[in-house]
Structure 1
Amino acid sequence: MTQETPMLYPVWGREQIDDASIAQMDAAVQLPIAVAGALMPDAHVGYGLPIGGVLATEGAVIPYAVGVDIACRMRLSVYDVKGRMIEAHEERLKNALKEQTLFGAGKAFRGRERAEHAVLDEDTWLYTPLLKGLKDKAVGQLGTSGSGNHFVEFGLFEVLQPQNALGLPEGEYAALVSHSGSRGVGYAIADHYSKLAIELHPELDKSVRHLAWLDMDSGYGQEYWRAMDLAGRFAAANHEVIHQRVAKAIGWDVLATVENHHNFAWEEEHGGQSVIVHRKGATPAGKGVLGIIPGSMGDAGYIVEGLGNEASLHSASHGAGRLMSRSQARKTITRSMIKSYLGERRITLMGGDTDEAPHVYKPIDQVMAAQTELVKVIGKYSPRIVRMDGK
């Protein structure tokens, strides 16, 4: 069940992308619902759609093309404090990262530690039995971070453009960056509707069964869409709570913020047609849209302004992209290698594991060089105190 004529799609940074990711994208654009596709330079193999894959569909949404961590996203807070203050207040900042959020699968706040936010009062939690059952999980996990590549970190933010959308003078500031998604809420929604989509499309070949879709005009399609949107608002609230708690704990004022999803689906118009654009590990990069593209625990990230490239479906990479799998990393990378790498860059790591070592990621500067048609860099972020899951 594929399109008769193979669909072509643009690829940025092809020399940095493995053939397996290309094969996954080839299969995705042949789906009968596919309208257009694009592959970002950080691409690597995922379930169904490769990470870094962008897929536009007509009248249908693919839960697995959004991903299991719905609305995984980034947030940057720039403080009214010079960058040198990070080193001067290192212990206080480390304590704030320890005390103001939790890390790991299933971790949740209890009792008075729980945060309040308007997203928890939405009627959408009553829309389906599934969402109703997830409400308590949301209450406990609001303001927490996940495992894997999720982090909250302090670092130096350098404004590179004198005239910029942030309205900040050139210079170096202290900043906080976070990366996480909708936690157990998003996972449960993704799991439920992905399985349902697969059941509804037994005709799909085993190689593309994870790309099973839900029709947007069906009850199930509308259920997923509303649940996905709620997960997106919950993920945004999650970051907001973390940043508010940290700012209060350290007593620094926030000058500017930037945030964006990179695992989500949007209803957009491209080529004069209304389509559903899935960005699985891809940053929205419409004309003038701000976004965050991180490197690794030991490498710089960038604040970018989208150029509205239509061929990319207004998208860019969501990070550097993996060079090796987690299992390969655990066999190859040692903690002493990480310690040496971070030590040379004066970076303190709290938690983390070898599967997230800087060595497992593509060089971020090569990834950025491959997408100058997609985004303009307006700022550079360099990590200094990184908090991840683990001891």
Structure 2
Amino acid sequence: MANLLRGNDLRQLGFPEGRAIGLALAQLQRKHLKKLSKTDQLELLGQLLKNPKDYLTHLDWSHTAAALLPAPSRHIELVARKEYTIFGAEHIEPGAIHQMETAMKLPVTVAGALMPDAHHGYGLPIGGVLATDNAVIPYAVGVDIGCRMALSVYDLPAKYLAQRTQELKKILLDNTRFGGGKGFERGQRLAHPVLERDEFTAIPFLKNKQATAVEQVGTSGSGNHFVEFGLVDITDPQNEMGLPLGQYLGVLSHSGSRGLGASIAQHYTGLARDVCKLPNEAQHLAWLGLDTEAGQEYWAAMNLAGDFASACHEQIHRRLAKALGERPLAKVENHHNFAWKERLADGREVITHRKGATPAGAGVLGIIPGSMTAPGFIVRGRGLAASLASASHGAGRLMSRTRAKAELGEAQVRKYLASFGVELIGGGLDEAPQAYKDIRTVMASQQELVDVLGTFTPKIVRMDGA
């Protein structure tokens, strides 16, 4: 692993931001290239960067070389940056702001906003909100289409968690599945109407995706996805859930559309980039017009993936309710990584992309999680026009995954979790609570975006991993 190059190594070498970096890193994973020393890899990439035309027919490097060459002369020019509002700018890394600045220069952009948990992503930054004119940008929606939060609140006391910790851990292990290739046995799978949707046969690209959806329904992804038991504290007597002030047992889940959403994102991003030639710094923001066949296909596929993600959460909560032998008193669910047809305050119809941002229209309920050792917040949107009726989708990363793995140790993280009384099943160092921003600081930066109705404090957490 010592000779493994990272994206920053290529950037320092002079690689432009964009597709060439990903293609080059992917090529270096090939067996005969992995054997090269780091010095030899950098030398090879330096030659490629210097003379990309010489590599256009090279078996290994043709695609990377093509990505390094200037875009065709017919490419779409960026325009003057439109104004947008940043919430909590002092907590946002420059890379995320730079990405948002680029997005605001697209000719189809109408309006935008950046949330206080924002950090660098592909195309639109995580925490970016972008309104466009009759155009949808697959990478402004994101790879995990329709990723969402879902909360169930039960009429069980706080002491239930302490008294039945081992039983609740077993309930999570028995009734949840995480990560690639992990699903329930055929006899344990639950049916759902979304699996019979016409889109699986009407859209050519989706014809071979139904079988995988059937296998993965009711499961969760890897990374920062979780299912957890915790304490719900209702602090607003006027909450729309109809819950009296007090403390309850809660189940909170975070996951998305699994392999279905990822394949849709990758396929339609490729189509968008074929027809929408943008400068290198903006190429991940290629769009599809909603008046085109490809745009309509993506829109239908995106909505299918969002409904599939919701079905997964529905089944997770159904299984856990059955195992608990209880009916929830209330449920709250919201999603991000999606695009909506909406109207701005001036009446213009737009396509609003929320990539890692929570819908916060007036009166709309949502959940904004913190970390394993910090509370999440149950919120009611205030519909602020400057935020495009949006709020953060979490605390946001303080450390990259690579940095967290390099700087944190297993024993250190377990000790930290124990100090907060948190039991973790699975999980990795890249998802350690120390890798996230302070959720209270983030919430303080968006007081004009949402009202807080209560909190959720994690106690037993299940993530991907042993």
- Which TM-score tier does this pair reach, normalised by the shorter chain? over 0.9
| Residue in structure 2 matched with residue 249 of structure 1 by the alignment | 323
- Tell me whether 1:233 sits opposite 2:307 in the alignment: yes
- 1: CA distance between counterparts of 2:325 and 2:104? 49
Matching residue's letter, 2:102:
A
Q: Do the aligned partners of 1:84 and 1:174 also contact (CA within 8 Å) in 2?
A: no
- 1: CA distance between counterparts of 2:170 and 2:219? 16
Q: Do the aligned partners of 1:92 and 1:250 also contact (CA within 8 Å) in 2?
A: no
Following superposition of structure 1 onto structure 2, how do residues 239-318 of structure 1 map, counting pairs within 5 Å? 239-270=313-344, 271-318=346-393
| Residue in structure 2 matched with residue 380 of structure 1 by the alignment | 455
- 2: CA distance between counterparts of 1:3 and 1:368? 34
Q: Do the aligned partners of 1:34 and 1:56 also contact (CA within 8 Å) in 2?
A: yes
| Residue in structure 2 matched with residue 145 of structure 1 by the alignment | 220
- 1: CA distance between counterparts of 2:462 and 2:165? 13
- Tell me whether 1:177 sits opposite 2:244 in the alignment: no
**Secondary structure of the structure 2 residue equivalent to 1:297:** coil
- 2: CA distance between counterparts of 1:385 and 1:64? 33
- 1: CA distance between counterparts of 2:176 and 2:419? 28
| Residue in structure 1 matched with residue 183 of structure 2 by the alignment | 108
Deviations 1:261-312 (A, max 9, x none): 1110000000210000000000000000000100112211000000000110
- 2: CA distance between counterparts of 1:359 and 1:4? 39
| Residue in structure 1 matched with residue 144 of structure 2 by the alignment | 69
Q: Do the aligned partners of 2:145 and 2:306 also contact (CA within 8 Å) in 1?
A: yes
Structure 1 length normalisation: TM-score?
A: 0.98
Q: CA deviation at 1:250?
A: 1.6
- 1: CA distance between counterparts of 2:234 and 2:88? 26
**Secondary structure of the structure 1 residue equivalent to 2:149:** strand
| Residue in structure 1 matched with residue 263 of structure 2 by the alignment | 188
Larger Rg: 2
Q: CA deviation at 1:6?
A: 2.2
| Residue in structure 2 matched with residue 41 of structure 1 by the alignment | 116
Matching residue's letter, 2:371:
S
Following superposition of structure 1 onto structure 2, how do residues 130-169 of structure 1 map, counting pairs within 5 Å? 130-169=205-244
| Residue in structure 2 matched with residue 87 of structure 1 by the alignment | 162
- 1: CA distance between counterparts of 2:445 and 2:305? 32
Q: Which structure would you say has the larger RCO, counting Cα contacts within 8 Å and 6 or more residues apart?
A: 1
- Tell me whether 1:117 sits opposite 2:192 in the alignment: yes
Percent identity over paired residues: 56
- 1: CA distance between counterparts of 2:283 and 2:176? 37
| Residue in structure 1 matched with residue 402 of structure 2 by the alignment | 327
Matching residue's letter, 2:311:
A
| Residue in structure 2 matched with residue 344 of structure 1 by the alignment | 419
**Secondary structure of the structure 2 residue equivalent to 1:382:** strand
- Tell me whether 1:224 sits opposite 2:304 in the alignment: no
- 1: CA distance between counterparts of 2:222 and 2:172? 15
Deviations 1:234-285 (A, max 9, x none): 1001000000001101212200000011110000000210000000000000
**Secondary structure of the structure 2 residue equivalent to 1:254:** coil
Q: CA deviation at 1:201?
A: 1.7
Bigger strand fraction:
1
| Residue in structure 1 matched with residue 174 of structure 2 by the alignment | 99
- 2: CA distance between counterparts of 1:266 and 1:11? 21
Matching residue's letter, 1:131:
L
Q: CA deviation at 1:338?
A: 1.2
Q: Do the aligned partners of 1:21 and 1:50 also contact (CA within 8 Å) in 2?
A: yes
Matching residue's letter, 2:336:
H
Deviations 1:320-361 (A, max 9, x none): 000111111100011122112211110100000100001111
Q: CA deviation at 1:111?
A: 1.4
Question: Following TM superposition, where does structure 1 have runs of at least 4 consecutive aligned residues deviating by more than 4 angstroms?
Answer: none
* CA spacing shift, 1:208–1:3, aligned 2, 3 Å: closer
> Which consecutive residues of structure 2, in runs of 5 or more, have no partner in the other structure?
1-75
Q: CA deviation at 1:88?
A: 1.2
**Secondary structure of the structure 1 residue equivalent to 2:434:** helix
CA RMSD of aligned residues (A): 0.9
- 1: CA distance between counterparts of 2:79 and 2:422? 52
Q: CA deviation at 1:124?
A: 2.1
> Which consecutive residues of structure 1, in runs of 5 or more, have no partner in the other structure?
none
Number of residue pairs aligned between Structure 1 and Structure 2: 390
- 1: CA distance between counterparts of 2:140 and 2:215? 27
Matching residue's letter, 1:99:
D
| Residue in structure 2 matched with residue 127 of structure 1 by the alignment | 202
Q: Do the aligned partners of 2:79 and 2:106 also contact (CA within 8 Å) in 1?
A: no
Matching residue's letter, 1:74:
M
Q: Do the aligned partners of 1:100 and 1:242 also contact (CA within 8 Å) in 2?
A: yes
Q: CA deviation at 1:3?
A: 5.0
